[in-house]
Amino acid sequence: MDSDTRRQKQQALMAELVERKIRTHARRLYQNRGRVDGYALQDWVQAESEVLGNSVLAPLYRKIRVENGPSSQFEDEENSQMSANSVPSEVLV
């Protein structure tokens, strides 16, 4: 494996770890609100802001998000209603 490929894989792994932290934090926000539906995007943006604000990996995460495009999770969420007991897909680990 050449060094560029190795670096890309390492960066993708680091970005995945940051996204997992964001997802976990967004789930916590959802649960703290009493699992009230309709705030998935707000929870995600707040969690992303709070996690990235404390992370040295924020520039890498943003770079990879721009290169790979936005996640389709919110589009899927907007097209389907969540049941009262479900957790939004973007906040699942």
- Per the structure block, which two tokens stand in for 54? 């404390």
In this prediction the pTM is: 0.68
Q: Which two tokens stand for residue 11?
A: 């960066």
pLDDT tens, N- to C-terminus, the chain (93 residues): 799 999 999 999 999 999 999 999 999 999 999 999 999 999 999 999 999 997 888 898 888 888 886 554 444 443 333 333 344 444 444
Residues 57 and 14 sit within 8 Å (Cβ to Cβ): yes
Distances (CA, A) of 17 to 12, 81, 85: 9, 28, 26
For residues 18 and 16, give the distance between their C-alpha atoms in angstroms, rounded to a whole number.
5
